Structure 1
Amino acid sequence: MLISFWGKGGVGKTTLSSALAVKLAERGYRVYLISTDFVPSLHDVLGVEFSDEPREVCNGVVAEQLTEEKIVQLWKERFGEEVYRVASSIFPVGREIIDYVAGAPGIVEEFTLYYVWDKFHRINADFMVWDTMATGGGIRMLRIEKEFYEHLGDAAKLYLKLKGVIDKVRTGGAEPLELIESWRRLASNILEFLKSEQHRAVIVSRPLPVDFSVTRRVYAELSDAGIPVKAVIVNMVGGTVTEDTVLDAFNREFHGKAPLLLVPSVSPPPCGCERLKSIIESEQVERLLRRLL
Structure 2
Amino acid sequence: MSRLRLFTGKGGVGKTTLAAATAAGLAARGRKTLVVSTDPAHSLGDTFARRLTPEPTEVDSCLSGAQVDSRGLVDATWQELRGKLRSALSGAGLDALEAEELTVLPGVDELLALTEVQRLAETGRWDTVVVDCGPTAETLRLLSLPEAVSGYLNRMFGWQAKLAARGTVEAVKRLAAHLESLRALLTDAERTAVRLVCTPERVVVAETHRTLSALALRGIRVDGVIVNRLLPAPRGWRGPAASWLRARRGQQDAVLAELAGSGLASFARVEHRAIEPVGLDALREIAAELYGDADPLSDNGSDPVPLLQISEVDGGYQLRVALPLGRDAEVELARVDDDLAITVDGFRRLVPLPEQVRACRITGAESGPRGLVVSFTEGQG
**Fold in common (TM above 0.5):** yes
**Residue 7 of structure 1 aligns with which residue?**
9
- Of 47, 57, 60, 1:58 maps to 60
Q: How much has 1:60 moved relative to structure 2? A: 1.4
- Of 158, 171, 178, 1:179 maps to 171
Matches within 5 A, 1:243-282: 243-255=252-264, 259-282=266-289
Deviations 1:123-174 (Å, cap 9, x if unpaired)? 5111111000111211111233221024323421x214xx36x6721xxxxx
Q: How much has 1:284 moved relative to structure 2? A: 4.0
| 2:201 maps to amino acid | L
**Residue 325 of structure 2 aligns with which residue?**
none
Equivalent residues of 1:261, 1:288 under 8 A apart: no
- Of 198, 211, 232, 1:205 maps to 198
Which stretches in structure 1 are left out of the alignment for 5+ residues?
Answer: 170-174
* Alpha-carbon distance change, 291 to 89 in structure 1, aligned in 2, over 3 angstroms: same
Equivalent residues of 1:153, 1:184 under 8 A apart: no
What is the alpha-carbon distance in structure 2 between the residues aligned to residue 137 and residue 111 of structure 1? 14
**Residue 125 of structure 1 aligns with which residue?**
126
| 1:88 maps to amino acid | S
**Residue 24 of structure 2 aligns with which residue?**
22
**Residue 87 of structure 1 aligns with which residue?**
86
**Residue 353 of structure 2 aligns with which residue?**
none
**Residue 218 of structure 2 aligns with which residue?**
225
- Identity over aligned pairs, percent: 25
Between 1:281-290 and 1:49-58, the stretch displaced more is 281-290
What is the alpha-carbon distance in structure 2 between the residues aligned to residue 149 and residue 123 of structure 1? 28
What is the alpha-carbon distance in structure 1 between the residues aligned to residue 89 and residue 298 of structure 2? 53
| 1:146 maps to amino acid | E
What is the alpha-carbon distance in structure 2 between the residues aligned to residue 287 and residue 266 of structure 1? 23
Q: What SS does the aligned partner of 2:113 have? A: helix
Q: What SS does the aligned partner of 2:299 have? A: helix
Equivalent residues of 1:32, 1:125 under 8 A apart: yes
Which stretches in structure 2 are left out of the alignment for 5+ residues?
Answer: 234-248, 302-381
**Residue 187 of structure 2 aligns with which residue?**
195
Between 1:215-224 and 1:279-288, the stretch displaced more is 279-288
Deviations 1:184-220 (Å, cap 9, x if unpaired)? 1111110110111111211110001111111112111
1:291 correspondence with 2:299: yes
What is the alpha-carbon distance in structure 1 between the residues aligned to residue 264 and residue 277 of structure 2? 30
**Residue 306 of structure 2 aligns with which residue?**
none
Pick 1 or 2: higher relative contact order, CA cutoff 8 A, min separation 6. 1
What is the alpha-carbon distance in structure 1 between the residues aligned to residue 76 and residue 300 of structure 2? 35
Between 1:278-287 and 1:80-89, the stretch displaced more is 278-287
| 1:289 maps to amino acid | L
Q: What SS does the aligned partner of 2:180 have? A: helix
Q: How much has 1:292 moved relative to structure 2? A: 7.8
Deviations 1:65-103 (Å, cap 9, x if unpaired)? 22xxx3122123223322222221111589xx99x968x
* Alpha-carbon distance change, 73 to 277 in structure 1, aligned in 2, over 3 angstroms: closer
Equivalent residues of 1:205, 1:233 under 8 A apart: yes
Equivalent residues of 2:35, 2:65 under 8 A apart: yes
Equivalent pairs counted in the alignment come to 275
Equivalent residues of 1:234, 1:263 under 8 A apart: yes
* Alpha-carbon distance change, 167 to 219 in structure 1, aligned in 2, over 3 angstroms: closer
Query: Which consecutive aligned stretches of 4+ in structure 1 deviate over 4 angstroms post-superposition?
Result: none
TM-score using structure 2 length:
0.66
Q: Which has the higher strand share?
A: 2
What is the alpha-carbon distance in structure 1 between the residues aligned to residue 192 and residue 146 of structure 2? 16
Q: What SS does the aligned partner of 1:262 have? A: strand
Structural RMSD (CA): 2.5
Q: What SS does the aligned partner of 2:260 have? A: helix
Between 1:78-87 and 1:199-208, the stretch displaced more is 78-87
Matches within 5 A, 1:87-166: 87-91=86-90, 105-156=106-157, 158-160=158-160, 163=161
What is the alpha-carbon distance in structure 1 between the residues aligned to residue 213 and residue 113 of structure 2? 21
* Alpha-carbon distance change, 234 to 283 in structure 1, aligned in 2, over 3 angstroms: closer
1:168 correspondence with 2:160: no
* Alpha-carbon distance change, 167 to 226 in structure 1, aligned in 2, over 3 angstroms: closer
